[in-house]
Structure 1
């Protein structure tokens, strides 16, 4: 497959492409609400429903279980539907289920069981939204502007992470955690409205030869990923990183809120500060790729930033609390730069008719480790305590660098045939 030689500047893309501007705005709004929920859900469980470490782990697992269960069929369905319609439907479903929390809380009927269901449904919506969005970006901007498009989306995603957690912490403190989830629902409704304004809608996919069998379609994306040496190493890295990162997300509220005594607002500020690294990384991702090429960008940011993860377990009260966001921000920053490179690479080399199944296979293989990580984090806290569990998570996330030093990545031509733009 021919890969475009150049990518137009991202600023030109934003100035001239109304559809992408609307998609970008919807992504910012939706992700900001999502990060509010990431703060509000565990705080609601810990502060209101007195959840244990294992119950917090189950909540984290429930929010990500969909990537293990429905990611593969989601790719099949997305490839056969209009992707914008999938995006709008995912936003509406997530808004409705989130609104159920403040309603039941108002009647005093809120329970951990309901939070598990809410987290599970949100996870399903996230799967469909994520898989459809990556294919829709490719349709909307064309392969000649992929790097610019995904760079801007990465900036938007990390910017929303910078705003969302502090906003979530403030909302929990001011209007309660259930009120913060209502805010997230409004964000998804606004995102759906913005997506609905994109014109014209993409054409319905027309596949000759009748309706294929679901079983064969389910494995198509996995077979494609397994046949690409670079993508195999990206998947292995992602599996290790996400296993320990989602274990960390179980440890995080227990250590920072229960042990160190941070208020909801302070907790939101600390976790939101982590996104500074992602914003910086994603802003400079285009320049980094242009300077070092796709091949080096797949591993060099990790080698430079990941060792700072070892600052996180040194977190303490007073000024020592800043060690946690510094270490985590370095990790997120390196990941943001590499993420732009690997998504651009895989979208460029993959045939358009396989985008949904390829993306869902990547999500299934990598993000399927998220629920396992959530449960693993709860087990670690129970077995060895919060502080030691944090050390295990930091060392595990650092170890995820090793697959990206494999020979196929190091021997990849520096630009990998993809224009830098």
Structure 2
């Protein structure tokens, strides 16, 4: 249920000065780690099930990925408005429970031989819907539970858990698909979501949720306030545009990439999983660096250089041939560089977004950026499938990899690239105080 308390100032929050001595933060961190493991396992397992077991073509894989990403476009803005009025803990545990049930049902259907492409579409869509709720809620949870001076360290820890998931999830999923079956791998994803549910429900601290009025504004008005707030801030507006350019191209690239690795390079499921898992160690390094580099070199310089380095790494992949050890090593190197650069960008952008956004606008700001930044990913996935069919895998991979470089170009042309060594102050919000 929603809290009746007003937003609490930083000085009054009860979090201990040391994050790892805080039981509630540990519960959030452990739950986020398990949730990300479930997500990254599923992101590999379900497409591999379609490609290797159901013999899905490029167009069908593009549609499958688009179905999973469509909830971002359809629901993000409304979810953000809703999350701003409720405890993020409640949203996260319900989302975890739903995803565990959906993947558990898919695993059982797969073991019984009942999981065809239509059923797989339903599962992917359901998981996508619940992931939108979880992702918006977890991005808002830290700023409600922690003090302002803990945001960078807290985000670095949470993004570090995502890095661990990027290592373990694809590697585990690929190994389970190769050695056992896609159904067993799907069951592993369900188990991770169940573990996340158990951990996050242990959070006990009262959240600083804005007080609800007797007649709260219509949800359309709250959505409009979120859109207006993000559009009115130069930094957040640039984040939206840069994210949209990256996510659209990356969605297209990944559709081609998931076909390129097994069909063009003839990699096994385990090798595919390891290639994707290589982003994890890089992302882990990026999380560590994100806690240090912005305060030394400036937030803008770190954003621009990390985006250019990470996004440009995939330009080398179309030159690879065969499944030799050299090819696999090159894929691991590409994934590592991409993971390090991408994680530096993710942590830094999240800290900037949280710093400039008032507490009562956190959910809507996160959802608006998610909506604009990732709303085009279903179209990107469809485009990737179309390009793979019409242009071939190598050419399509080169074109989509080049498209990701639009993101650092957008940032270079904006004031975001000139941010200094300290986080900006929160932007004044003139909207209603009660929700």
Question: Alignment partner for residue 348 of structure 1, among 321, 333, 355?
Answer: 355
Greater alpha carbon shift after TM alignment, 49-58 vs 334-343:
334-343
TM-superposed deviation, 1:143 = 1.4
Q: Distance in 1 between matches of 2:395 and 2:10?
A: 48
Q: Give the deviation of 1:272 after TM superposition.
A: 0.7
Structure 2 distance, partners of 1:411, 1:263, is: 44
- Asked if 1:360 is matched to 2:367, the reply is yes
Match of 1:283 among 273, 283, 288: 288
2:248 pairs with 1:250: no
1:107-159 alpha-carbon deviations (Å, 9 max, x no partner): 32211011111111111111111111111111111212111100111111011
Query: d(CA) in 2 for partners of 1:67 and 1:338?
Result: 20
Distance in 1 (CA, whole Å) between partners of 2:225 and 2:73 is 17
Instruction: State the Cα distance separating 1:209 from its structure 2 match.
Output: 5.4
User: How far does residue 215 in structure 1 lie from its aligned partner after superposition?
Assistant: 1.6
**SS of residue in 1 equivalent to 2:181:** helix
- Please say which of residues 353-362 and 260-269 is displaced more in the overlay: 260-269
After TM superposition, the structure 1 stretch with the greater mean CA deviation from structure 2, 116-125 or 211-220, is 211-220
TM-score of the aligned structures, taking structure 2 as reference length: 0.90
CA contact (8 A) 2:312 2:401 kept: no
Q: Where does residue 64 of structure 1 map in the other structure?
A: 69
Partner of 1:293: 298
1:133 equivalent to 2:153? Answer no
Indicate which of 220, 224, 239 corresponds to 1:219: 224
The answer to whether the 8 A contact 1:60-1:249 is kept is no
Cα distance between partner residues in 1 of 2:315 and 2:31: 35
Give the 3-state SS of the residue equivalent to 2:213 in structure 1: coil
Where 1:308 maps in the other structure, the secondary structure is: helix
Alpha-carbon distance, 1:307 to partner? 3.2
Give a deviation string over 1:178-231, Cα, whole Å, max 9, x none: 111111111111101101111134366422251211221122111111111111
Q: Which runs of 5+ in 1 are unaligned?
A: 6-10
Partners in 1 of 2:174 and 2:376 — Cα distance?
27
Aligned to 1:146: 151
Q: CA deviation at 1:287?
A: 1.0
Match of 1:106 in 2: 111
State the shift of 1:363 in Å.
Answer: 0.4
Calculate the TM-score normalised by the size of structure 1: 0.93
Aligned residues, how many?
Answer: 413
Q: Say whether 1:45 aligns with 2:45.
A: no
**Aligned mates of 1:171, 1:241 — CA distance in 2:** 30
Q: Partners in 2 of 1:120 and 1:304 — Cα distance?
A: 33
Does residue 336 (structure 1) correspond to residue 343 (structure 2)? The answer is: yes
Partner of 2:407: 400
- Per-residue displacement from partner, 1:262-281 (whole Å, max 9, x unpaired)? 11111111111122221111
Distance 1:253 1:303 in 2: 23
RMSD, matched Cα? 2.1
**Against the structure 1 CA distance between its residues 302 and 200, is the aligned structure 2 distance closer, same or farther, given a 3 Å change threshold?**
closer
368-377 or 287-296, which moves further after superposition? 287-296
Distance 1:295 1:209 in 2: 42
Q: Determine the structure 1 residue equivalent to 2:174.
A: 169
Q: Is the 8 A contact 2:275 2:335 kept in 1?
A: no
| Compared CA separation, residues 283 and 204, structure 1 to 2 (3 A) | closer
1:32, CA displacement in angstroms? 1.0
Question: Is the 1:311–1:324 contact (alpha carbons within 8 Å) kept by the matching residues of 2?
Answer: no
Distance 1:213 1:311 in 2: 50
1:345-379 CA-to-partner distances (Å, cap 9, x unmatched) read: 11111111111111100000001121111111101
From 174, 178, 181, give the equivalent of 2:183.
178
- Contact 1:150–1:344 under 8 Å retained in 2: yes
**Residue 320 (str. 1) matches residue 327 (str. 2):** yes
Structure 2 segments unaligned to the other structure (5+ residues): 1-8, 426-435
